[in-house]
Chain A
Amino acid sequence: MANPLTLLMPVVPNTSPATIANALAAQQSAIETGLTNVGTVHFSRFLLLDSSQPNLQPTGSSSDNLVLGVITEYDGDFDVYIQDFVDQIGGVFDALLVFVVGGEKLTPVANNVAALTTFIQQNDASQNPSEPSLYSAYPQTVQQILAAFSQP
């Protein structure tokens, strides 16, 4: 059964959504390659919100209230695989954490795995005990699904 990650990170004040969008676009290939290599992530997406807006949607202008979210569903134990995650996708973390409040001191993440783990735990809304548990339509792992469809 997969586990959820709902990482919500306040963005450094006066950052424009376009800056973050461009950074994400530049990392897209590395994200896809890295997550495929890790092999435990079912789905992953980024989300940008503006907590100063009534509908939480960014307007396009710079804001002091942006929130960068990382939402994934993954197999296995996050803490156990964090070092392998960092190995496969650490460059993406480094590129994005510069936009996050308190993020720069975590970079390069390869040298700050314990601090990164703590930071993620503190900002992962899914770890809040009051959050409802994840619904999954299937119990299989990513690799079991890929294997099931690997041959006709």
Chain B
Amino acid sequence: MSDTPIDYSDVQGTVLRGYRVDLARHFILKITDSAAAKRLIGSMVDGTAGMPQITTAKRWSSKPEFFVNIGFTCQGLKELGLTPGQLSTFDQGFQLGATSPETAKTVGDVGNSAPDRWIGGLSDGMSVHAILSLWVTDDPIVLEAVTARLREAFEGGMEELSSHDARALPDNRIHFGYRDNIAQPTVSGAPPRKHPIPDDQPVVKTGEFLLGYLNEYGSTYKVDPVELSTNSSYSSFRILEQDVAGFEAFLEKYAEQAKIDPETLAAKVCGRWRNGNPLELMPDGAGTPLPLSELNDFTYVAADASEDDTLGLKCPIGSHIRRNNPRNGMVVGTDSTHHRIVRRAMPYGPDFDPKNPDPAARGLIGHFINGSITNQFEFLMGQWDNTSTFVKSAVGADPDCLGNAVFNISGDDVFVGVNEASSSSFTLAECGKKGSNNVEIEGFSRMITTRGGAYCFLPSISGLRYLAASSIATD
């Protein structure tokens, strides 16, 4: 339990609850009239005048037809009246914003993923002020009806720069074919998932995801004004286009090079088979899907040689799930509990038919939520996804299997890393001193392109009321 109980009614729902929905639409908004925007925010907080009401984290008695949450960029908060002094108290990464050159370099939004190529008005960071996200349980008529009401309400206060739809694929799949949305951090004090997927990892301090509570560093993230502090959070909103044909071609080509089958390579670069089973528990084949009670119940380092995977022979140290959550694997700095992330992303775009490949845009869109963009999202992207030097020296528990964890990872994360063809690399580890028997596949190109992004502040419900009621500051 958290040290301080969380008032769920004061937290925007998506921070603490995953909405299991079929449809979503994300509106990219520019504030054109601050006073009108504030009235809109106020009406959404209370659900007055027939407005869709901002969803809180409070438990619902029956599942709503739709959910709505809103976040503001640094420029958006400025439009709503926050002073430069106040904004300087916000997360450093948030202040710079997703389109700043420094941010882009940190997270690997370079080349075709660079902000100047982003869609939907997202390339102009100064004009992106708010992201309003609408999730709909299953009815497209509800999606369009709520959209119509929102668009009516935007008039005079907010300009819709673009909107972007998402659509769940069967069995929680994403376009690369993997079953997604399995692992999420267990946050102290947060409501349990409706369908728990337990693991043995430490419960993460509330303050890693909500301002105003103790975080893993023993401190508290907060902002000025105090009314925007407690129960607020941050998110990195991302549109990530997936080259499905390119990924399947990568699997065919490099599986042959590595002398394994394509599905095994797919599992190795992810850390899970496409059916969701983790390599750590099912190293030799996908098998039948494990029950939820087992699907996430594993870790990497063990004293018992029969269970230990320090060297990444079963689940590569450079695989996506292991890079983004090393669990009890040793890393420089601190450990995985200090850099967790909550993922709220869904697929977008049409189904991919390998028999009739098409170039339609498809991928993942949504929010990556954390109490500190700098120390969580940016840290993951910059330190664990786009380098290989974060792993600590460690030998395996089996004295007959020589090697060291440091030598068993290379390159960038195959999914979200930069992966310049001239330097890309993925290591399939084998026993051998200094990785002498490792197989490395090299020369592949990036298969996920960033098509848009924005750093958002997700005010608490009382914070939204404060913004709605506050006067514009004058110099």
Do residues B332 and A147 form an inter-chain contact, with CB atoms below 8 A?
A: no
A83 at the interface (CB under 8 A from B): yes
- Which of B216, B219, B391, B434 contacts A148, CB < 8 Å? B434
Q: How far apart are B336's CB and chain A's nearest CB, in angstroms?
A: 12
Among A69-89, those with CB < 8 Å from B are 75-77, 80-81, 83-88
The residue in chain B whose Cβ has the minimal distance to the Cβ of A113 is: B219
Binds A, one of B19-27, B46-54, B398-406, B457-465: B398-406
Rounded to whole angstroms, the CA-CA distance of A150 and B393 in the bound complex is 8
Do residues B334 and A143 form an inter-chain contact, with CB atoms below 8 A?
A: no
A47 at the interface (CB under 8 A from B): no
Most B Cβ at <10 Å: residue of A87, A88, A111, A143: A143
**Given A39-B332, A84-B334, A151-B402, also A141-B219 (CB < 8 A):** no
A144 at the interface (CB under 8 A from B): yes
**Given A87-B217, A113-B219, also A150-B395 (CB < 8 A):** yes
B4 at the interface (CB under 8 A from A): no
Q: How far apart are B303's CB and chain A's nearest CB, in angstroms?
A: 17
- Chain B residues with Cβ below 8 Å from A37 are 334
Among A27-62, those with CB < 8 Å from B are 37-40
Rounded to whole angstroms, the CA-CA distance of A151 and B402 in the bound complex is 8
- Chain B residues with Cβ below 8 Å from A87 are 216-218, 334, 338
Rounded to whole angstroms, the CA-CA distance of A114 and B90 in the bound complex is 11
The residue in chain A whose Cβ has the minimal distance to the Cβ of B378 is: A80
B92 at the interface (CB under 8 A from A): yes
Majority secondary structure, A binding face = helix
- Chain B residues with Cβ below 8 Å from A111 are 219-220
Do residues B332 and A80 form an inter-chain contact, with CB atoms below 8 A?
A: no
- Chain B residues with Cβ below 8 Å from A12 are none
Rounded to whole angstroms, the CA-CA distance of A146 and B379 in the bound complex is 24
Do residues B393 and A146 form an inter-chain contact, with CB atoms below 8 A?
A: yes
Residue-wise interface mask of A (97-116) relative to B, using a CB-CB cutoff of 8 A (1 in contact, 0 not):
00000000000001101100
The residue in chain A whose Cβ has the minimal distance to the Cβ of B218 is: A110
Do residues A143 and B393 form an inter-chain contact, with CB atoms below 8 A?
A: yes
Do residues A143 and B217 form an inter-chain contact, with CB atoms below 8 A?
A: no
**Given A40-B333, A144-B406, A151-B433, also A86-B217 (CB < 8 A):** yes
Among B124-183, those with CB < 8 Å from A are none
Do residues B393 and A147 form an inter-chain contact, with CB atoms below 8 A?
A: yes
**Given A38-B332, A38-B333, A81-B333, also A147-B406 (CB < 8 A):** yes
Rounded to whole angstroms, the CA-CA distance of A107 and B434 in the bound complex is 43
- Chain A residues with Cβ below 8 Å from B332 are 38-40, 75-76, 81, 84, 142-143
Do residues B389 and A80 form an inter-chain contact, with CB atoms below 8 A?
A: no
B383 at the interface (CB under 8 A from A): yes
- Which of A38, A81, A110, A147 contacts B219, CB < 8 Å? A110
The residue in chain B whose Cβ has the minimal distance to the Cβ of A141 is: B389
Residue-wise interface mask of B (367-404) relative to A, using a CB-CB cutoff of 8 A (1 in contact, 0 not):
00000000100010011000001011101000000111
Do residues B334 and A88 form an inter-chain contact, with CB atoms below 8 A?
A: yes
Do residues B404 and A147 form an inter-chain contact, with CB atoms below 8 A?
A: yes
Q: How far apart are B279's CB and chain A's nearest CB, in angstroms?
A: 23
Q: How far apart are A88's CB and chain B's nearest CB, in angstroms?
A: 7
- Which of B220, B338, B382 contacts A84, CB < 8 Å? B338
B407 at the interface (CB under 8 A from A): yes
- Which of A83, A84, A114, A143 contacts B406, CB < 8 Å? A143
**Given A88-B334, A143-B332, A148-B434, also A83-B375 (CB < 8 A):** yes
* 3 tightest Cβ-Cβ pairs between the two chains A and B: A84-B333, A147-B406, A146-B393
- In the assembled complex, 20 residue pairs joining A and B whose CB atoms fall closer than 8 Å, in A order, are A37-B334, A38-B333, A39-B331, A39-B333, A76-B389, A80-B383, A83-B217, A83-B338, A83-B375, A84-B332, A84-B338, A87-B218, A143-B389, A143-B406, A144-B393, A146-B393, A147-B404, A148-B434, A150-B395, A151-B403
